[in-house]
Amino acid sequence: MSVRHTIELNDMELFLRIQYSDLEAFDLLYNKYWHPLFSFANKLLRSYDDAQDIVQTVFISIWEKRATITIQQSLESYLFQAVRFQSLKKLESLLSTPEQIERVQEELLPTFNDILHRLQEQDLVKQIQKEISSLSPRTQEIFLLSREYKLSIAEIALKLGISEQTVKNQLHIALKTLRHSIAITLIFYFN
């Protein structure tokens, strides 16, 4: 069936054709959703390259698993949930990588701070505060200086008289401890 004929198909009809290896239907779906999915991933990760990779991963997965995927809700919801899931996996990966700590500090932590200020779910805020209070006093102090006072790694190191690497290590420990709560917060914020 040519692209001109499939353009009238709804998402589920397109997906049914994709399940039968219809490349034209896949191209239509890809072209319809690539930009909204990319924008969503970019909003979550604040990285053009990571957002592109996430969307590509989702579409590759759909094509590779087309014969076995079962969609319970709308295809659009399925795609956005898949991008959200892949973005959160990427975020968790970044939070557990010491080399990425500056990017997390500069790009993702401010988003997290904004989320905390807007969050209406007091139980989640209490849980995050509980997790922060479980950190060692030094890690807690460094994390709060970066989060509440928005000091850079260099500024924290200078203020506390410690090396920048020590600050990075302590922020890594804090973020690793908090990454689950951060991921949950992002899910609530971007729903």
Count of domains in the chain? Answer: 2
d(Cα 18, Cα 62) in Å, to the nearest integer?
9
Q: What is the mean pLDDT of residues 123-130?
A: 69
| Domain identity same for 167 and 103 | yes
Q: 109 vs 45, 57, 75, 142, CA distance in Å?
A: 11, 25, 32, 13
More confident residue, 93 or 20: 20
| Domain identity same for 90 and 2 | yes
Percent of the chain with pLDDT over 90: 41
Question: Domain span at residue 36?
Answer: 1-95
| Domain identity same for 63 and 118 | no
Is residue 191 predicted with pLDDT exceeding 90?
Answer: no
| Domain identity same for 171 and 188 | yes
Q: Which of 55, 71, 95 is the last residue before a domain boundary?
A: 95
| Domain identity same for 136 and 80 | no
pTM for the model stands at 0.53
Q: Which of 29, 60, 95 is the last residue before a domain boundary?
A: 95
| Domain identity same for 48 and 102 | no
Q: What's the pLDDT tens digit per position in 154-164?
A: 999 999 999 99
Is residue 23 predicted with pLDDT exceeding 90?
Answer: yes
CATH number at residue 168: 1.10.10.10
Contacts 24+ apart (CB under 8 A), 115-119: 115/185, 115/186, 115/189, 116/185, 118/189, 119/185, 119/188, 119/189
Q: Which of 95, 119, 145 is the last residue before a domain boundary?
A: 95
Q: What is the mean pLDDT of residues 138-145?
A: 92
Per-residue model confidence (pLDDT) at position 4: 43
SS3 185: helix
| Domain identity same for 130 and 177 | yes
Is residue 7 predicted with pLDDT exceeding 50?
Answer: no
| Domain identity same for 77 and 106 | no
| Domain identity same for 81 and 115 | no
| Domain identity same for 91 and 134 | no
CATH number at residue 41: 1.10.1740.10
| Domain identity same for 73 and 150 | no
- Sign for the CA dihedral angle at 120, 126, 127, 131 comes to positive
| Domain identity same for 53 and 136 | no
